[in-house]
Chains A and B, each alone.
Chain A
Amino acid sequence: MRFNLPKSRVPFHALMIVGCLLQLQQVNAQVKASVIKGVVQNSYDEPLTGVSVVIRNTKTNFTSGTTTDSTGVFNFSRISPGGPYSFTFSMVGYENQIMSGYNIKAEIMLSLVVKLVATSTSLDQVVVVGYGTQKRKDLTGSVASVGTKEIKDLAVTRVEQALAGKVAGVQVKAVSGEPGVAPQIRIRGIGSISAGAGPLYVVDGFPTDNIQTLNPNDIETMDILKDASATAIYGSRGSNGVIIINTKRGRVGRTNITFDTYFGLQQILKKPRMKNAFEQAQYGYDGYRNNNLDAGNSVSGPPASWKIAVPAQILDVLSGKNTYDSDPLDEILRTAPMKQYQLTATGGSENIRFALSGEYSNPEGIVINSDFKRYSLRANLDAKLSKRLTVKLNVNPSFTNKRALPVYTGGEGNFIGSALGTFNWIPLTDSNGKYTNEHGRADLSEINNPLAVARETITTQKTLRFLGNVNAEYKILDGLNLNVMIGTNLMSIKGMTFVPQLPVLLNVPAVGTDNAALITNWIAEYTMNYNKTYKKHSITALAGYTSQKERGELNNMVSNKYPNNLVPTLSAVSGLLTGGSSDTYEWSILSYLARINYNYDNRYYLTTSIRSDGSSRFGSENKYAFFPSVALAWRVKEEKFFKNVNFLSELKIRASFGESGNNNIGNYESYATINYEKYVLGNGAIGGFAQGKLENPILTWEKQKQINVGIDAAVFNNRIRLTVDHFKSNNTNLLLSVNIPSTTGFSNALQNIGEVSNNGWEFVLSTVNLNSKFQWSTDFNLSTYRNKVIKLGPSGDPIYTANNITMIGQPIGMFYGLKLDGIFKNQAELDKGPIWNPGAADRSRVGDMRFVDVSGPNGKPDGIISSADYTVIGSPYPDFYYGMTNNFSYGNFSVSVNIQGTHGSQVYNLSRGQGNSGRGRLRGYAFNNDYWKSEQDPGDGKTQRPNNAPTGGARAIGQQFMDNGSFLRVNNIISGYTLPEKLSNKLSLNSLRIYFNATNPFLVTKYTSFNPDVSLSENPLTPGNEQNDYPLPKSFVLGLNVSF
């Protein structure tokens, strides 16, 4: 016998969605006692394990809780007859369900079948916004969410990695494969030139800029505030976007203990094809030959006796005397294991709930001697101390130990670069295991032996962190709550480096450093919430006050007075330090905030907020900042004329405007502080000082104004959902170092003067493609942004930074150099020009690159290639970037595939400098093997000739070093299998799940080096540069979740 729920407090509109899924079965049976049994299922009729079920008699205040077992069954025995009873069902990732109004008769067995609706398909999903929560359907701003479902099984070390490819408007760049290193995150373009462009993180209410120590498995939800109406409530810290992270909390019911572990193996994702020994030797030989020809020397005799002689090592390879041919990159790369173990206990009663977890994570690096370990604990407690008072406690101590890439002290490039640059004919060790010295060789530029650097040097950093807060919520009246939160973030960092004195490292005296930092940060926050619904009017109001302060104490010591290599710590130098300092800084922020959310009849929404920030960082004449916002939404679907359009599940139009800021302007930049200077007197160092900068009492935060319009639509019972957002932001008062007349004693001063704009589109399409026993759903997102510099310093001069230019009318940091136009294949082409450095020794010759004659000293093309021909030669920014996740499941099997890609970006590939400039003094990439050899044999017609003394501007900044940065990467393929309950029960387990995860299994790109998703530094002025970055790994991981 089936019937609809007799009584419900679920509002009617919610029932529309939920009602058909929520069923109740009552089964008659022979009954001797009052027993309530039931099964909880998802919308695909699969049993749900671990659902918390609470029964409550509203009259007698009797309460009891339990959780469902692996078959989804729950059971209450010995329930006193009477009522009314209510049941509450809750589970992460699912909508809470309350069923009330049950009067239990004596001697009856009540059997319930309850269906829970997954939150991700629900408009009632709770979204965490700044200082509060909202239901997704009530959102007026642009907020994206990522939940446990998207995070689990990813086998990532850093929380940020879980966002890759998942959220529109959030560009997650996997810039380094170094274990424990975060990807770079940019939300809605780049809004700052010099003050940092990374988002603010808020962990369980605690604002911080560093989540290095957070365990991804502890995360319940991540909500990304994108538009300014959402971020304005974070004021002067909101303009780069805000990522709110809430961790898992305990639920009422049986204690659930789970053990999670994975083990995987990692390898380099993409190894570039470098020249083998013979190819390289031939390239080098031809380079010496061309060098002699250019210099007018004869090349008729034996190459070893040419005026510019070919080094014997090259000739040995060509003649077959030396046949050693092995890629040195293989010597520093390895198959590296990664593993994680986690034990979690959750549960609790009505009054006390807990979530406890302990984790050990250890991804080793694919480059030898790099490693990352994290040990973390978390305890989240929720205590209902009285009817009015609820206290939440979050405690998260953690310890990380990182062995980083070695310090590189000598020669060109860096450590990875030295492995890329060493020729295949040079063994890194001899037969006795002794390191080959790569200095003082005629065939090779001065570099350090990478193996010696990796094995003999030490670079470690340890971080001990405690993040904790306590939150008390006091219910003053119905609908009026006072919240008090106090929290702290303590961090202690300790690092050291040591480079021993070795002949193979140029015999430089051993040098060691030791650094330590202690950072204490605390917050106190008071917020008052008010909720009131009156007829069709619904209002939520928030007012608050928050203050936060940080103090950092840092010191470092350096010495190169080691007596030997035996002891790497500075204890060995007998107190003879050669450098060191100790610094303390502080900053504080004090804010008032208020917000009102109003809606009429769930149709018309208005949100308005204001925040005022006072900050120690602002100049004395600009101490306070105000950040207002307003947003409107119209749920068209709720209008009468749409009520009967049944296929339409949701239609909402949103518009917002807000202001936020960026206060990463330095702690003391407004003060005329001094610099400590040194000079040599009496042959020793003596300290002094000088004024370091001019005072700037009007120094202020960077400001952002943003407009956002969006539409949310869903059809066919939410099976197809679409969200489109368009934003336009304008960032002003950007901090720039402005040139001033040097007669002041300073050549520049920091002023709030720059302006940039960003605008872009975001599309999110989610579909449930198949919804039967075989299920298939797809989430797709695509984003664009266009960045433009509006204003720079007083004269508007561009900012030049190596290979990038930041100029008005262009995006920040475009590539700037010479435009390439093939090569001079023959004399006739050369005669037409244009010529690099005509008349000089390094002038253009046949076989050299031909650049585009853009201009000349008089503003007109002059047939000469010079710095006047520098122009914008490419963009580090993609036309668009996208991500897609496909989830498949059949019975106990599930498969999930996540891809991520960008299109249209370029990379300035500095590590090509060695292989693409013609000079064969370091190993080059093999892609230019088909180079120009003679007028009769011009190779592929676009690759210049090798030349030991490069001519024709081969080493100038130009398109010859640029690569296509577009790529499509499969981030994950995860397949999982849950053991049938019968089997797991036999093993006396609640449930057992195994999964296999292939991380980064495929990369499609034309990029020539390791990883096209580059960013050499955090500096917004130099995007898209690559220089021997730590290669990205791919990994194959086997994981296990066991629940007891």
Chain B
Amino acid sequence: MKKIFCLIVSVSFFMMSCKKDFIELAPISSVSVAALFKTDKDFQDAVIGSYSVLRNQYNDFWMFGDVASDDSWKEVSRNQSSYYIDVFTLDANDALLKTTWNNYYNLIARTNNILAKIEKADAAVVTNKARHIAEAKFLRAFAYFDLVRLFGDVPMITTPIDITEAYKAGREKVEKIYSEIIIKDLQDAENGLPVKYTGTEIGRATKGAAKALLGNVYLTIKDFPKAETKFQEVTTLGYALLKNYNDLFDYSKEEHHSEYIFDIEYAEALGGLGSGFTNRFSPLSAPFATFYKITGGGGEDNNPTMDLFKAFDPKDLRRDVTVDASGGFVDGTGTFVKFLQASTVTKKYLTPVISSGDSKANWKVLRYADVLLMYAEALNENGKTAEAVTYVNQVRTRAGLAGYTGLSVADAREKIYLERRLELGMEGHRWFDLVRTGRALAILQAKGMKSFMTVFPIPLGQLQLMNNPAIFPQNTGYK
């Protein structure tokens, strides 16, 4: 009998491992970040991980770009970020600001991590080292460009930091961020990125995207000669306007066409990789949702204004897709069905949606018409008005409108501004254009804008965490 006992004891001892190892169990289905950033594939995957932040951030970007401007408003319900931003009462504690700040610094940290790790990588192992660096820098510049335009001075983080260092990172001047990061990063990016991708690479940042973005940066800081150069370079890269304006918003067609330069990519039915635009911009109308096959119905969050509608010439082929002001729709039987509440709707993101918030519609960040109009703006500011007007007219002709002739510099400036509003309406440009060109206050005062509101408040949570007004103050005017 003792034998049995001894057997039990020895079997159980056999089951036990050495004590120290026994409680040292590393993750199995994830891995410590330290184990990565070794191979070319690791870096490529880390870059994908960086892009993915933009997918989240740009789902809400229209609130800044359009709702804050005079192009769009939150017509119906009155207790959401999109309403407060519309009437300039967005609280510093609003979740929109918090997630925006978090998203961009998350993207910056991810790209900083890549750039820090790739520095020592052997180019023989990490074969696409140059491209990874260029892509990471493009994305980092992209994040900082949005950040300074939204918040003004922000912390300038260029290497991975820990919590202690984060508490010491104060806000840096916008100018410094432009000169030390954004422009330098984009210059590196335009050199390191390929002109074109094919197959499963389509959607990554290209040379054209980097140049166009850099042009936009120069335009924003009013360095018009440099802007002109960059946009001119873009025109040599083979982009062309689509023949039919409405094809830009026909999602049954390929979104990566000759006019596409850089999109935030979304696709349906891939397990949460779709966008929310179709649902959120649709009216709260079950018949509309049924007719257009929009599962989950509409959110009525982004209604184009009558002001934008009236800015169009009735003959403008771009009007009806940008603003449908009929207050309803015509169903399959030819009957006009009135919306319950909303009076307008934009059809730029209209496509059947299989599951709610999972639309295939991309967010267009840069397209060729945008570049042509920015190019025209730069040329005009550099005194080359006649040449500028030719690019404006390319855009107008496609919209079924007559071209301009014989404009003064001042007239041309106004016409270019107007053309941008009409061409790019409801695509997230208007607010930034108004602020960039110094017209925001005059136009938006009636909605409640005050002079200090060209930037948004720093998220309250970050201010409270930092708790150091000397290096991390709130933006002037905000509580």
Contacts and interface: CB of A to CB of B under 8 A. Distances in A.
Interface string A670-709: 0111110111111111111111101100000000000000
A524 B48 contact: no
Contacts of A621: none
Interface string A365-403: 000000000000000000001101101000000000000
Interface stretch (B10-18, B236-244, B322-330): B10-18
Contacts of A741: 163, 166-167, 169, 462, 465-466
B397 interface: no
B295 interface: yes
A382 B15 CA distance: 24
Interface stretch (A457-465, A582-590, A601-609, A755-763): A582-590
B203 interface: yes
B19 to A, nearest CB: 6
A547 B49 contact: no
A744 B466 contact: no
A529 to B, nearest CB: 15
Contact of A441 (B98, B167, B286, B297): B286
A689 B45 contact: yes
Interface stretch (B99-107, B182-190, B308-316, B376-384): B99-107
B123 interface: no
B130 to A, nearest CB: 19
A678 B45 CA distance: 9
Contacts of A441: 286
A578 B274 CA distance: 13
Interface stretch (A835-843, A912-920, A932-940, A988-996): A835-843
Interface string B82-119: 00000000000000001001100110111011000000
Contacts of A631: none
B104 to A, nearest CB: 9
Interface stretch (B29-37, B60-68, B417-425, B438-446): B29-37
Given A508-B354, A587-B25, A741-B163, A690 B32 contact: no
Interface in B270-319: 270-273, 286-287, 289-290, 295-297
Contacts of A618: 23
B25 A446 contact: no
B124 interface: no
Given A389-B2, A389-B5, A588-B22, A689 B270 contact: no
Given A616-B24, A681-B200, A742-B106, A673 B462 contact: no
B354 A509 contact: yes
Contacts of A440: 286-287, 289-290
A584 B27 CA distance: 8
B142 interface: no
A39 interface: no
Interface in B426-461: 461
A746 B465 contact: no
Nearest to B254: A683
A583 B48 contact: no
Interface in A732-754: 739-747, 749
Contacts of B5: 389, 472, 474, 484
A687 B101 contact: no
A125 B109 CA distance: 63
Contacts of B204: 681
Contact of B271 (A524, A685, A686, A749): A685
Interface string A437-455: 0011110001000000000
Interface in B130-183: 155, 157, 160-163, 166-167, 169
Contacts of A691: 33, 109-110, 113
B88 to A, nearest CB: 15
Contacts of A671: 26-27, 30, 32
A668 interface: yes
Contacts of B270: 578, 678, 680, 684-685
A861 interface: no
A558 B13 CA distance: 42
Contacts of A673: 27, 30-33
A688 B51 contact: yes
A414 interface: no
B47 interface: yes
A524 B12 contact: yes
Nearest to A688: B48
Contacts of A517: none
A486 interface: yes
A682 B161 CA distance: 34
Contacts of B167: 741
Contact of B166 (A385, A472, A615, A744): A744
A870 B391 CA distance: 55
Contact of B22 (A386, A549, A743): A549
A795 B78 contact: no
Contacts of A470: 8
A681 B202 contact: yes
Contacts of B105: 742-745
A522 B31 contact: no
A684 B465 CA distance: 39
Contact of A522 (B15, B52, B266, B297): B15
A460 B296 CA distance: 26
Interface residues of A, number: 85
Contact of A439 (B155, B162, B286, B354): B286
A299 interface: no
Given A560-B269, A688-B52, A841-B78, A389 B1 contact: yes
Contacts of A558: 271
Contacts of A385: 1, 4
Interface in A541-555: 547, 549
A614 interface: yes
A684 B200 contact: yes
A682 B166 contact: no
B22 A547 contact: yes
Contacts of A677: 48-49, 52
A506 interface: yes
A575 interface: no
Contact of B23 (A388, A615, A694): A615
A616 B441 CA distance: 59
A680 B267 contact: yes
B27 A740 contact: no
Contacts of A842: 78
A56 interface: no
B23 A623 contact: yes
A685 B15 contact: no
A579 B106 contact: no
A589 B23 contact: yes
B162 to A, nearest CB: 7
Given A684-B267, A842-B78, A389 B27 contact: no
B364 interface: no
A52 B388 CA distance: 107
Contacts of A678: 48, 52, 270-273
Given A486-B11, A524-B12, A524-B16, A680 B266 contact: yes
Nearest to B341: A949
B265 interface: yes
Contacts of B286: 439-442, 446
Most buried by A among B29, B255, B464: B29
A672 B461 CA distance: 24
B199 interface: yes
28 contacts: A385-B1, A441-B286, A470-B8, A484-B8, A508-B355, A522-B15, A526-B9, A547-B22, A588-B23, A671-B27, A672-B34, A681-B204, A681-B265, A683-B202, A683-B203, A688-B46, A691-B33, A691-B109, A691-B113, A692-B30, A742-B462, A744-B105, A744-B161, A744-B163, A745-B110, A747-B102, A840-B78, A949-B341
Given A522-B15, A526-B9, A747-B98, 5 more contacts: A474-B5, A681-B48, A681-B200, A691-B110, A740-B163
Give me the 8 closest cross-chain CB pairs, A-B, nearest first: A745-B109, A688-B48, A690-B49, A682-B200, A680-B265, A673-B30, A741-B166, A688-B49
